[in-house]
């Protein structure tokens, strides 16, 4: 409820005894409580909805002529860093699409910059019309199997929970650490449980008694389901099901058949990771709702899953509905099929119209320290042959899970060579935070390069520098390009740098306008496709090859990881 209005004023506005600030007339209001569509007027004062119905008067009146009005959209789980945009540029991209609040997990920047990264995200989003809520990262580092830029203990996290926009503990990715009762993992859970905070989960393929134990520890949501049986088991056990549709992880079509009228209120649509091109071409939560309706979901249920369900799950009881006493975060839609957003109001202020943001950003950009500490002169990508077969990471397009494959290697003079004919390429992960010179070397199948190399400082979750290539020389050229610009994405071939997208904010984000970032990314993808990769976004696929909390095989700066064993394994069988 707005602090600018006293309770007696709210009552007088609600009774129509005082003139409201804004009246939206003749709208078809989506009632997310009853599932009805009701043609009525909406009176707003002091940033909140003070009443619905006919007969209200207001200083400013807008006739909606029968257009639909629903609550502002809420994304219940995402990583803003994965959009490669600063918080302001992210807001410019998503608010015109109807998003008025997000619940973000800043563990990407936290794994690079620690508490300074979390503070950056909170401060950089402080004056935006978009409400950016934060879940305190639970896994910095994500595991003991990699080198991150920082380590955050339960003691480090505790002060964050005093911030009004910090809602709880973010996705507990280290599910093996929970099950094996690692003391530091349990300490973080205990801090959240003792304070009665929300704890988000991350439990890919977890089932049976392990799942029961994970939930009993206080973790009650999951966004990593890929199949209906897994989703239903988690719903039955009391979890909130976050149905993810990101740029790489696309689970909506597979999971939507699980959603029924009986369980839909425990389901949310979320984006998790989405790139600028998809935000511009497809949308944000409007796209998730549109896709859900195309897959057969009732449109009002889809709206519930991006408004009321998210608000109630995160205890945001001041938003998520068009009703008296709720924040006047409102979206005006042309229809309930394409979800074309015409107007967006936040606290009763028109902040976007016809796809354009009507707000400006911070007057001064906040800066972060340099985050790429590598000397290219120390790098050597040679891999001695030590057996007949090697373990190879198998890319699964459209998912972030990988396969554990085994193949004979191509070699020359006793050294492993990239094998473009069989699409088995060298992969390296180079520690970039502390100048340790740590480097993991491995092989990957599914990137598809015929020549050249791709490099990235976006490498979940510790965000060391990753490079994949058809030859060592181009791998070194691509790495050098990212050292020069203090992080980003690069493509190289024949000793030349083809394209670089600088990401100077922690090696993850750009301050540039999102339109420019999209153009630069399109050029970079064109370069990657020109090198032979058939993947829609090989850089996003590459970024997950170092993620040792998702089965089955990964590579970190410390070595090759069999995630199912949660331990290192040698490259050669």
For the chain, the domain total comes to: 2
Residue 223 has pLDDT above 70, yes or no: yes
Based on the number of CB atoms within 10 Å of its own CB, is 197 exposed (0-12), middle (13-18) or buried (19 or more)? Answer: middle
Statement to judge: residues 201 and 84 lie in one domain: yes
Whether 51 is covered by a domain: the verdict is no
**DSSP strand pairing (553-556 vs 559-562):** antiparallel
The answer to whether residue 311 sits within a structural domain is yes
Handedness of CA 183, 187, 193, 199 (dihedral sign): negative
In a domain, 20, yes or no: no
Cα–chain-centroid distance for residue 484?
27
Choose the final residue of a domain: 280, 304, 322. Answer: 322
- Same structural domain, 311 and 421: no
Q: Are residues 302 and 445 in the same domain?
A: no
29 in a structural domain:
no
Length reported for the chain: 573
Segment 200-208 mean pLDDT: 94
Distance between CA 557 and CA 180 in Å, rounded? 24
The set of residues, in sequence order, having a beta carbon less than 8 Å from that of 52 and lying 6+ positions away, is: 29, 38, 40, 41, 42, 43, 322, 323, 324
Cα–Cα distance, 91 to 96 (Å, whole number): 8
- Same domain? For 185 and 299 the reply is yes
Same domain, 195 and 273: yes
Rounded alpha-carbon distances, angstroms, from residue 514 to 105, 158, 509: 20, 34, 11
In 511-550, DSSP assigns E strands to none
Burial 317-340 (b: 16+ CB within 10 A, else e): eebbbbbbebbbbbbbbeebeebb
Grouping H, G, I as helix, E, B as strand and the rest as coil, residue 426 is: strand
Q: What is the reported pTM?
A: 0.92
Pair 307, 412 in one domain: no
pLDDT tens digits along 71-125: 999 999 999 999 999 999 999 999 999 999 999 999 999 999 999 999 999 999 9
pLDDT of residue 364: 65
Dihedral angle computed from the Cα positions of residues 75, 81, 86 and 89, in that order, rounded to the nearest 10 degrees: -40
Q: Based on the fold, state whether residues 226 and 135 are members of the same structural domain.
A: yes
Lookup: tokens for 472: 């060592």
- pLDDT per residue over 311-350, tens digit each? 999 999 999 999 999 999 999 999 999 999 999 999 999 9
| Contacts of residue 494, Cβ cutoff 8 Å, sequence gap at least 6 | 451, 452, 474
As a whole number, mean pLDDT of residues 146-168 equals 96
Regarding whether 287 and 417 lie in a shared domain, the answer is: no
Taking alpha carbons only, the member of 103, 172, 91 closest to residue 139 is 172
CA 292 to CA 298: how far, in whole Å?
Answer: 8
What's the CA gap between 393 and 391, in Å, rounded? 7
Does the residue 436 lie in any domain?
Answer: yes
Picking from 182, 496, 230, 517, the residue whose alpha carbon sits closest to that of residue 241 is 230
Q: Is residue 368 part of a domain?
A: no
Residue 407 lies in a domain: yes
Least confident of 122-136, 307-321, 357-371, 494-508: 357-371
Residues 279 and 417 in one domain: no
Residues 254-289 have pLDDT tens digits of 999 999 999 999 999 999 989 899 999 999 999 999
**CB-CB contact of 81 with 510 (8 Å):** no
**Spatial CA neighbour of 288 closest among 106, 36, 99:** 99
Residue 357 lies in a domain: no
Residue 480 is part of which domain span? 376-568
CATH code of 223's domain: 3.20.20.140
pLDDT in tens, 17-72: 999 999 999 999 999 999 999 999 999 999 999 999 999 999 999 999 999 999 99
Q: Give the whole-angstrom CA distance, residue 565 versus residue 423.
A: 26
> Residues 145, 289: one domain?
yes
Give the residue from 59, 46, 53 showing the smallest Cα distance to 25: 53
């Amino acid at each position: 409820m707005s602090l600018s209005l006293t309770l007696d004023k709210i009552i007088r506005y609600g009774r129509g005894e005082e003139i409201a600030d804004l009246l939206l007339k003749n709208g078809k209001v989506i009632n997310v409580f009853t599932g009805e569509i009701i043609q009525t007027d909406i009176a707003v004062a002091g940033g909140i909805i003070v009443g619905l119905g006919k007969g209200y008067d207001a200083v400013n009146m807008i006739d909606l002529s029968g257009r639909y009005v629903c609550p502002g959209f809420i994304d219940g789980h995402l990583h803003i860093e994965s959009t490669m945009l600063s918080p302001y540029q992210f807001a410019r991209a998503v608010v015109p699409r109807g998003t008025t609040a997000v619940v973000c997990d800043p563990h990407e920047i936290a794994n690079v910059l620690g508490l300074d990264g979390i503070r950056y995200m909170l401060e950089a989003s402080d004056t935006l019309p978009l409400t950016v809520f934060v879940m305190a990262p639970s896994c910095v580092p994500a595991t003991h199997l990699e080198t991150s830029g920082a380590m955050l203990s339960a003691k480090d996290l505790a002060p964050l929970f005093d911030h009004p926009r910090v809602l709880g503990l973010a996705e507990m990715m280290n599910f093996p650490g929970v099950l094996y009762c690692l003391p530091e993992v349990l300490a973080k859970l205990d801090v959240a449980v003792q304070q009665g905070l929300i704890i988000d989960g991350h439990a890919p393929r977890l089932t049976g008694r392990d799942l029961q134990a994970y939930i009993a520890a206080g973790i009650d949501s999951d966004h990593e389901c890929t199949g209906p049986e897994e989703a239903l088991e988690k719903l039955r056990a009391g979890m909130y099901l976050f149905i993810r549709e990101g740029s790489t992880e696309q689970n909506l079509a597979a999971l939507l058949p699980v959603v029924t009228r009986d369980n839909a209120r425990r389901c949310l649509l979320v984006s998790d990771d989405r790139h600028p091109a998809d935000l511009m071409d497809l949308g944000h939560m409007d796209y998730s709702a549109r896709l859900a309706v195309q897959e057969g979901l009732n449109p009002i249920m889809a709206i519930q899953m991006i408004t009321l369900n998210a608000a109630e799950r995160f205890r945001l009881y001041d938003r998520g509905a068009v009703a008296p006493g709720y924040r006047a975060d409102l979206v005006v839609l042309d229809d309930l099929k394409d979800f074309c957003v015409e107007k967006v109001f936040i606290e009763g202020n028109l902040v976007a119209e016809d796809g354009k943001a009507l707000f400006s950003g911070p007057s001064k950009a906040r800066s972060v320290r340099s985050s790429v500490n590598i000397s290219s002169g120390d790098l050597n990508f040679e891999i001695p042959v030590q057996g007949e077969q090697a373990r190879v990471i198998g890319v699964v397009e459209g998912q972030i899970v990988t396969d554990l494959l085994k193949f004979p290697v191509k070699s020359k003079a006793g050294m492993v060579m990239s094998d473009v004919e069989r699409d088995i390429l060298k992969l390296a992960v180079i520690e970039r935070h502390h100048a340790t010179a740590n480097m993991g070397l491995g092989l990957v199948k599914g990137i598809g390069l015929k020549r050249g190399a791709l490099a990235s400082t976006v490498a979940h979750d510790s965000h060391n520098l990753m490079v994949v290539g058809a030859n060592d020389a181009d791998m070194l050229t691509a790495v050098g390009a990212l050292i020069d610009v203090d992080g980003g994405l690069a493509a190289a071939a024949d000793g030349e740098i083809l394209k670089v997208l600088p990401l100077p904010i922690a090696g993850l984000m750009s301050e540039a306008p999102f339109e420019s970032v999209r153009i630069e990314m399109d050029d970079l993808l064109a370069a990657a496709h020109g090198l032979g990769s058939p993947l829609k976004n090989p850089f996003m696929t590459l970024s997950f090859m170092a993620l040792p909390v998702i089965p089955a095989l990964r590579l970190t700066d410390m070595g090759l990881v069999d995630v199912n064993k949660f331990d290192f394994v040698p490259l050669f069988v």
